[in-house]
Chain A
Amino acid sequence: MPTDFAETLLMTECTGLAKDETRAGCAPGSRLVDRAKAGDPAAFDQLMEMYQRRVISIAWRILGNKDDAQDAAQDTFLRAFKYIGRFRSGEDFSGWLYRIAINACRDLARKRVRDHNSVSLDATLEAREAAALQSSDDVEHSALRSEQLAVVEQALAQLTPREREALVLRDLEGMATEEVARILGSTPATVRSQISSARCKIKTFHDRMIHRQSRTRR
């Protein structure tokens, strides 16, 4: 179809960004949104393809493991499809979608608390599993990376849920403070305060870790 061809052309013109961002940041995204709003499943599938990595990444960082991230991402897209009619054209679709993702993560985290699941333990196990899956070329490198991921997950586990959300979006996903505030339904000042507190806790954790490592070496 000509429309699809034009979209593909525009998509390929967007270079220099990550795969998801490439297509999300360009005009076709809004056209796809309009088509998805009109009930076109193919358009929605394309939107999912655009944003899935980012949504999973956010969910993984917030929830601490891949399985929960997958559940949250699926829930995010199901909710997005259900409520896409309420999305106003011309607004920031990615922000709207990430807000849904954050809510899906919160709901899942609440459910996990009820189920008495330990997030940090899950994360550690998940990181090991991920290392096993990634061990195609460099086993040592993958193991090191998974270990690092598990330790960072432990550091993130020190934060309050709101601090964690703010830090993940600002520092790990690289969003602007104002955008984070919009996604979290908060103010930039509150987000700055949460980020500041979170960074202090991460630094304390990091200092302790370095201190422990130096003691072990001795």
Chain B
Amino acid sequence: MNCKTCEKLIPLFVEGDLAGKEEAVKSHLAICDRCSALSEDFSRSQRWLHSASLPELDDSWLENMRGEVMDNLRAESVRHSRADRLLSASTWRWLVATAAALVLAILAIAFSMRSVHSPDQNPNHEIQVAKDPGEQPAEAGPPSDSYQPRSNDRQSAVGHSVKKHRSPVRTNIARRSVEPLPENVIEQLTAAEQTDGAEPEMLRIEMQTADPNIRIIWFTPKATIE
């Protein structure tokens, strides 16, 4: 063992806190005067530390302190027992209040769920666009995923089928598209329809909006574009 290692171990060695290395330190101290002197210095400072004992505590002082603790404990237990009594008296009140709160909460949840599923907000609900500007949009039946024009049904051939969505933004878009078509477009469409009486050749037009979830698709007779 060298002096550097020994110096580190001496503070523990002087009070017997070295486990297993005591013999190594002892043998080094036997041959090294400097480390031996350091060990003696540590021993002296430790003796000095132990020499300062606390003043003897007076029995009456200790009894007094214990008495204060017991008084505190008694006061605490009285407080607790009072609290327990109060709790038992108000248990029924608590139960009634909790039950009332629960009923109110259930009612509130039911009401909010009902408003969510109201027909106005049904995403599957369809509104047909009126042909004439003065005509109000009429509510249609179940939705159809694909567009199927029928030659005899001018309303469905001319009109648009618009799906309403939950999102307020989408709803706004849908409402905007419900506005009646301009008069000249309707006239052109009618004229194109009357020319041959056959099913008009349809043109599919798609528009991607800024919102990736919204794509506007509509079909129009080719004649109206030409």
**What is A's interface to B at a CB cutoff of 8 Å?**
41, 44-45, 48-49, 52-53, 56-57, 60-61, 70, 73-74, 77-78, 81, 130-131, 133-134, 142, 145-146, 148-149, 151-152, 155, 170-172, 177, 192, 195-197, 199-200, 202-203, 205-207
Q: Which residues of B contact A170 (CB under 8 A)?
A: 15, 17
Q: Which residues of A contact B14 (CB under 8 A)?
A: 199
Given contacts A45-B66, A177-B17, contact A146 B73 (CB under 8 A): no
The distance in angstroms between the C-alpha atoms of A57 and B52, with both chains bound, is 12
CB atoms of B73 and A78 under 8 A apart:
yes
CB atoms of A78 and B72 under 8 A apart:
yes
Distance in Å from the Cβ of B70 to the closest Cβ of chain A? 6
CB atoms of A52 and B45 under 8 A apart:
no
Q: Which residues of B contact A171 (CB under 8 A)?
A: 15, 46, 49-50
**What is B's interface to A at a CB cutoff of 8 Å?**
8, 11-12, 14-15, 17, 41-42, 44-46, 48-58, 62, 65-66, 68-70, 72-74, 76
The distance in angstroms between the C-alpha atoms of A52 and B65, with both chains bound, is 9
The distance in angstroms between the C-alpha atoms of A78 and B41, with both chains bound, is 43
For chain B, what secondary structure do more than half of its interface residues adopt (helix, strand, loop), or is it mixed?
helix
The distance in angstroms between the C-alpha atoms of A195 and B12, with both chains bound, is 8
CB atoms of B72 and A148 under 8 A apart:
no
Q: Which residues of B contact A200 (CB under 8 A)?
A: 11
The distance in angstroms between the C-alpha atoms of A213 and B116, with both chains bound, is 89
Q: Which residues of A contact B12 (CB under 8 A)?
A: 192, 195-196, 199
**A to B CB contacts below 8 Å, 20 in the list:** A45-B70, A48-B66, A49-B66, A52-B66, A53-B57, A53-B62, A57-B54, A70-B65, A74-B68, A77-B66, A77-B69, A78-B73, A130-B55, A145-B52, A145-B55, A148-B52, A149-B55, A152-B48, A192-B17, A203-B41
Distance in Å from the Cβ of A195 to the closest Cβ of chain B? 7
